[in-house]
Structure formats: structure tokens, C-alpha cells
Amino acid sequence: MAALSLLLIPAFGLVLCCAAAFYALASLIAVLWASRRRDALPFTEAEIPVTILKPLHGGEPRLYENLRSFCVQDYPCFQLLFGVRDAADPAVAVVERLRAEFPARDIGLIADSRLYGQNFKVNNLINLLPDARHPWLVIADSDIGVQPDYLRRVCTPLAQPDTGVVTCLYRGRALGGLWSRLGCLFIDEWFAPSVRLSNLLGSHSFGFGATLALRRATLDAIGGFRSIADELADDYRLAERVREIGLKTVLSEVVVSTDVTEDSARALLRHELRWMRTIRSVNPVGYAFMVVSFDLPVAALGVVLTAGSAPALGLFAGVAVIRAILHFIAAGGGERSRSQALRHALATLPLVPLRDTLNLILWGAGFVRRRVVWAGRDLDFDDKGMFCGDMLSSGTRDTGRAGRENTST
């Protein structure tokens, strides 16, 4: 038995190295494939009017800049609806500043404390929807920044009758020091490549809060926002319900930016642990096999189990080279010049082993409990990703028009 174990342990280590190398190579191919992708459809001349729904909560470092990027869209007719739970929310002043700066824009602000479920962001969207004037809807988180052609490019696929929802990937923008940079690496060099690879392999099971574009009629057909009012993974579940009625999800070639503001290990790890547990809630089987996506530490473990065998070391070296290439590719994304991208890549390259090891640790921690910390609240969820308990006591239940203030123009 002991002799068999001595044979199986190195063999398992070599399997880990092979799996890590295969995943690393496949991820590189997927990222390169995505970089060559272009708009599949031409922009339509007669664009359908769009309402952009923006749930807000609190002041954020770049809230003005991010919201302003939606005000300067190159699109003929669109409405912007911002929503808060409390008229005293700091985000209100930012919206009022934008309304003063863009008086010709159709910008509305809704303050409404009514609750319908445990997900406060979805409650906000439910309260915004009655004031949406247009047949197409775009939902985007408050920390998202976009280019002027964003709305035109994202909405183009909705002209196809079989398209139900359009969603976007995003890249991180670090607003701080070490921890925010590590947060960007999580997004740009683990999350985004894994999505690219899934998409290349034919998956369309996506739905990201960075952007969800759909028709109002489609939203009505799935039961509206109320159907996801108790969901942890509200963005994913909305897109999933659209797929369940026979319409497809399109992963746009548009990549938006998201702010990474965590300034401590505690804040970053809490955020990313919520992310991991959210993924587990929607795909527990896939989550278990996700371990192979942490290719660098997995390959390193394989080397240890093989006692540093030559094949394992060779595979580990290959993984390390591919991982470095992916790092430099990711650094070149966004608005950096080539020289800026090179300097950024070199400066953050030493963080890659730490980042990848943290990913593996967070993945393991994601199995331990069904609890997340979100907007300062400790929330439990069940094995279907639904929030447990009653967290509605801090707000006003849906009892009519009480608690609502509409300052739309």
C-alpha cells in the first residue's frame, strides 16, 4: 500500500502540472482570440430609445467621473435614471451636479425607500422602473466608466430578435495602493480570461453588473426585477431567466472599466470572498473544478508532489511564461500608452504569484460558509443562492407610494 502511494502521489502531481499548463495555454488562446474580435453587427441608423438605470448608494471616489461618462454618450435618444434609498444619500449631490452640467439631458433622480426583497440593489431597480420611458433598458453599476460609443455598441445586438440580454466584461482601475492593485489583477488576469475561455468554448451563461442591456418586454416576460429581489447573484440570475424563455445572452466585445477602491487586506479579501461564494451559489459543480484555473500555484503544488521531477518543472516553467504573457497583455488594456503599459506590467509583475496564491486560498474559503458581507451587512444565503432571514426591517416595505421622491425633469 505504501509503495502504491509513492507511485500515485507523483503521478497526481504530474496530472496537476498538465492540467495547469493546459488551462494556461487555453486561456492565452482565448484572450488572443478575443483581442481580434470586432463588432459582429453594424450600428443601426434608427436606434431605439434607451433608458439607463443606475442604482446608487453612497459616495464613491470617482462617482462623478463614472456617471458623467454615461451623460456624454453618442446616442440620439436616451434617458438616465438614478436611484437612491434616501434623499440624503451623498450620491444625490453628484447627480444634481450632472443635471446642472447637462440641462438638455433627460436625467431623473428617484429617492425611494420601499423594499420588496433582501437585495437592496434590486429594490432600487424596482423603484426606478416605473419612471423608465423607453422600450430598451441598460442597467449598469455605479462604479462603471464607459466610452462615448458604449451605448451604441452595447445596444446594437438587441436589434436581433433572438437576443435577450447583452452583457459586458470589465477591467479594473486601481484607486489606491497595493490592495487595489491586487484587486485589479483578480479581475483582469483571473476573472476576465476565465470568462473569455468559457465563451470561446461556447458558453453564454453570463450576466455581469457592469452592463445588462435588454428590452423592457423581455424584462416583463421574466417577471420583472421582482423575480430576482432575493437573489445573491442578481445579475447572473436575470440573464439566466432570459435564457430560460429561449433568448440568448450576448457577451459584447465592449470592455468597460470598474473602480477597485479597497485599501486594506480585510476589505479586498471580504469583497473577493463574496465574489467566490456568489460563483459557487450559481454553479457549485463548476466551482469545484475551478481549481485548475489557479494555474501557477496548482503547477507549483504539482512540482512539490513530484519532488521536483524534470517533466513537472518543465510544465511549471511553461505555466509561468504563459502567466507572464497574460500579465503583460492585461497591462496593455484600457487607456494606457505602450510605455505606460510596459512600466505598469513590470511594476506589478512581482505581485502575480501572491495574487494567484490568494485566488486559490479564497477558492477554498468559498466552500466553508454560505455568508457574505455586502454594503456593511452580514448576509446568509441558501444552497440556491437566495438570501435567508429577514433583512427588511431597516427600510419601508412596499405599502404604496410612501417614502418616494421623484425629482425627474
Q: What's residue 399's pLDDT?
A: 46
Is residue 238 within 8 A of residue 121, CB to CB? The reply is no
Tell whether 361 is covered by a domain: no
For range 98-112, the mean pLDDT: 98
Over range 96-107, report the average pLDDT.
98
Buried b (16+ CB within 10 A) or exposed e, 345-360: beebeebbeebbebbb
The pTM score is 0.91
Residue 139 lies in a domain: yes
> With 60 as the cut, is the pLDDT of residue 341 above it?
yes
Q: How far is CA 282 from CA 76, 127, 232, 365, in A?
A: 37, 26, 9, 16
pLDDT at position 278 over 70: yes
168: pLDDT strictly greater than 70: yes
Lowest mean pLDDT across 118-127, 255-264, 278-287: 278-287
Q: What is the CATH number of the domain that holds 67?
A: 3.90.550.10
- Lookup: cell for 316: 511549471
The residue type at 309: S
- Residue 401 pLDDT: 47
Residue whose entry in the numeric block shows the C-alpha cell 440593489? 121
Domain span including residue 233 = 50-181+202-264
305 within a domain of the structure (yes/no): no
Q: What's the pLDDT score for residue 369?
A: 72
Please tell me the predicted confidence (pLDDT) of residue 368. 84
Residue 248 included in any domain: yes
Residue 351 lies in a domain: no
Residues of the chain above pLDDT 70, percent: 87
Tell me the pLDDT of the chain averaged across its residues.
Answer: 90
At residue 26, does pLDDT exceed 90? yes
Query: Is 6 part of a structural domain of the chain?
Result: no
Residues 323-333: pLDDT tens digits? 999 999 999 88
The answer to whether 20 touches 12, Cβ cutoff 8 Å, is no
Handedness of CA 68, 70, 73, 78 (dihedral sign): negative
Q: Is residue 111 part of a domain?
A: yes
Per-residue CA distances from 238 to 17, 191, 282, 371, 379 (Å): 37, 20, 12, 21, 20
**pLDDT band for position 384 (50/70/90)?**
low
Which of the four pLDDT bands, split at 50, 70 and 90, describes residue 398?
A: low
Is residue 318 assigned to a domain?
no
Over 80: is that where the pLDDT of 408 sits?
no
pLDDT at 232: 87
Please state at what angle helix 352-365 crosses helix 178-186, rounded to 10 degrees.
Answer: 70
Give the residue, 321 or 3, on which the prediction is more confident.
Answer: 321
Q: According to the model, what pLDDT value does residue 400 have?
A: 46
How much is the pLDDT for 8? 86
Domain count for the chain = 1
